Structure 1
Amino acid sequence: MTRLRTYSSLGVNVFPVSLGGNVFGWSASPAESFRVLDAYTAAGGNFIDTADSYSAWAPGNEGGESERIIGDWLASRRNRADVVIATKVSAHPQHRGLAPATIAAAAEDSLRRLRTDHIDLYYTHFDDLSVPVEDIIAALDRLVTQGKVRAIAASNITPERLEASLAFSAREGCARYVALQPHYNLMEREFYETSLRPIALRHDLAVFPYFSLAAGFLTGKYRPGEPIDSVREPRVTKYLGTERGHRVLATIDQIAATRATYPATIALAWLLAQPSITAPLASARTLAQLPPILAAADFDLKDDELTALSEAST
């Protein structure tokens, strides 16, 4: 049986890998998105992550496509009580930034698209330096008080602003950030480990890293000298051309072969073994991409394997 991880701030247990919804309505059609969501929950998964801006960048999209697909799926499956839904505010084309009025309006739109009366975890997607942290937290606190949001969290925030936000919440008795969603994986380590991890550990924040597979690079499907047929090509290319990238892939390949598992499973298992990490995010565009993600939930790396991966990625 998969070991769920306690997320005490919400009073629930979450699956060790959160299903990223950024591909829903972008590179995954509504029908394929439903199949992935069905398979993830059938395997015991219960933690779905999205954002109001997904996927405004795609031609013909306006933002909110992912939330809308998830909302339709929740309504059709009648399983809202069985899943933890996280979404985000600040990057939707019609609701940019974190002014209090923007947060309030964006939350209403997210609730409507998700077809639910509450959001389990509501992130500030990108910090807005033009708005004092006091105003941001007060606006989020109102949503919690109204019962529209269960808990609040932050992504893409500086250590200074995170600390200031937590201090204001403690001082004023407001809702506080209970979780953090940083950019963190085997290829992106320094900023989180040196600047944000100490804060997460000190304040007992749950941590849900995004780009856990480095835009697909850590799945091993992209190799030097081979053409990249993917919307993620720009992100993958920056890793492929480095000696460090070659070292990491070679180490993952060796461990995956020895343990008879997927490279992506190894990369996610490394994250799960790191201090402070609760559940990394990973997205699946098709059903075929889901097994390595699910396998990570029950996979333990040995000490020497963890050391080898950490050394290769340093």
Structure 2
Amino acid sequence: MGSLGNRRTVSPLCLGAMNFGTSTPADTAFAILDRFVAAGGTFIDTSNNYNQWVGHGGESEELLGQWMRSRGNRDSLVIATKCGARTTVPGDPGDAHWEGLSASTVASAVKGSLARLGVDRIDLYYAHIDDRSTPLDETVTAFGQLATDGVVDLVGCSNTATWRLDRARQSALAQGVTPYSVIQQHSSYLWPNPPALQGVQRHGTPHFQHAGIEHWDYLSENPDLTLVAYQSLLGGSYVRPDRPFWPQRGYAHPTAYARYETLRQTAQDLNATPNQVVLAWLIHHGAVPLIGASTIPQLEEALAAADLHLEADLITHLDNA
């Protein structure tokens, strides 16, 4: 099992619902959700801006709400959602119009998510991006107040540099409010080249932040903090020759290809897929991988990773590749 900030026990994998209700139609999404729960899954991730680039935004939350009501299973689940990157200009999801993380925005955004999900509390609420145009203390206070009021249980952040994460946690400590106990960050077995670890800069705000060496070091020193790893399978690049490693994210470099060869050989020796070894490796290191699936076979492949045992010497081999 996985753990969120040493406070909530969750399934080893988190199911991402980003495309549910848009590119993944409702009947398929319901089938995937049902299978995930039947396999012991309890942790589901969405956001208030999914899937605004093809719809109005919020479809994912709405579909999850419909599914939970139809199944009557709300209390057995851990539901995570986010705010900060929802557009303020309908029809234009560009980041120039993102809502940001001011106190008033956070207070308003959580009400919208509660309504779309049809719930009276949110288990885990993230700052979706690091809004550097808003004072960090203000954002930390806003999230802490939601926890104090019982509107959310755990609070977390996403796409955030290590130094900003630490500063936010220190601010919460100084204010006496609930600190971030989860960070959702782009993380995989391969390491991108160093410049990519700084994230993609747009309007001065880094996003698509990779969990680099400093994040892992910080996590090891703070066991009350959990990494939820998103896009761990690099859009299919580990298993599909027609989808090469992302050069724009810094993965197309010689060291990455050498590390991939170790992964590929390990998967072959274990009679597993490279995707499954990546997920199992992350789980071994204390992360909760966030998986996306648009079909049942994709989900089944990911679910099998939770049962894939990696011996200690094999972990060392993978770590040092």
Q: TM-score normalised to the size of structure 2?
A: 0.84
The unaligned stretches of length 5 or more in structure 1 are none
1:207 paired residue number: 227
1:35 paired residue number: 31
For 1:36, give the aligned amino acid. I
Q: Does 1:294 align with 2:303?
A: yes
CA contact (8 A) 2:47 2:83 kept: yes
- Alpha-carbon distance in 2 for matches of 1:198, 1:308: 19
- Alpha-carbon distance in 2 for matches of 1:129, 1:209: 22
- Alpha-carbon distance in 2 for matches of 1:110, 1:290: 26
1:262 paired residue number: 273
CA contact (8 A) 1:239 1:245 kept: no
- Deviations for 1:104-146, whole angstroms, at most 9, x for unmatched residues? 1111111111111111000001011011111111111221122
Residues 179 and 241 (structure 1), Cα distance of their counterparts in 2 relative to 1, 3 Å cut: closer
Residues 172 and 97 (structure 1), Cα distance of their counterparts in 2 relative to 1, 3 Å cut: same
Q: Does 1:55 align with 2:55?
A: no
1:129 paired residue number: 132
- Alpha-carbon distance in 1 for matches of 2:157, 2:251: 30
CA contact (8 A) 2:32 2:295 kept: yes
- Deviations for 1:201-241, whole angstroms, at most 9, x for unmatched residues? 333201111111122223x1x11xx4x5xxxx894887785
- Alpha-carbon distance in 1 for matches of 2:237, 2:110: 33
Once the two structures are overlaid, the 10-residue window that deviates more, 244-253 or 102-111, is: 244-253
- Deviations for 1:156-179, whole angstroms, at most 9, x for unmatched residues? 112222111111111121111111
Once the two structures are overlaid, the 10-residue window that deviates more, 188-197 or 47-56, is: 188-197
Q: Does 1:5 align with 2:14?
A: no
- Alpha-carbon distance in 2 for matches of 1:161, 1:238: 21
Does the residue aligned with 1:282 lie in a helix, a strand or coil? strand
Correspondences of 1:11-160 after superposition (within 5 Å): 12-58=8-54, 61-94=55-88, 96-160=99-163
- Alpha-carbon distance in 2 for matches of 1:52, 1:157: 18
- Alpha-carbon distance in 1 for matches of 2:312, 2:116: 44
The unaligned stretches of length 5 or more in structure 2 are 89-97, 198-210
- Alpha-carbon distance in 2 for matches of 1:289, 1:272: 18
Once the two structures are overlaid, the 10-residue window that deviates more, 278-287 or 255-264, is: 255-264
Q: TM-score normalised to the size of structure 1?
A: 0.86
Residues 235 and 301 (structure 1), Cα distance of their counterparts in 2 relative to 1, 3 Å cut: same
2:205 paired residue number: none
> 1:290 offset after TM fit, Å?
0.8
Does the residue aligned with 2:230 lie in a helix, a strand or coil? coil
For 2:275, give the aligned amino acid. A
- Alpha-carbon distance in 1 for matches of 2:215, 2:290: 17
- Alpha-carbon distance in 2 for matches of 1:9, 1:107: 24
Does the residue aligned with 1:74 lie in a helix, a strand or coil? helix
Instruction: Give percent identity, aligned residues only.
Output: 34
CA contact (8 A) 2:190 2:260 kept: no
How many residues align structurally?
295
> 1:187 offset after TM fit, Å?
2.3
- Deviations for 1:235-257, whole angstroms, at most 9, x for unmatched residues? 48877854445434433332223
For 2:291, give the aligned amino acid. A
1:170 paired residue number: 173
CA contact (8 A) 1:67 1:114 kept: yes
Does the residue aligned with 1:34 lie in a helix, a strand or coil? helix
2:200 paired residue number: none
1:252 paired residue number: 263
- Alpha-carbon distance in 1 for matches of 2:6, 2:136: 21
Once the two structures are overlaid, the 10-residue window that deviates more, 98-107 or 22-31, is: 22-31
- Alpha-carbon distance in 2 for matches of 1:242, 1:167: 36
Does the residue aligned with 2:187 lie in a helix, a strand or coil? coil
Residues 311 and 23 (structure 1), Cα distance of their counterparts in 2 relative to 1, 3 Å cut: farther
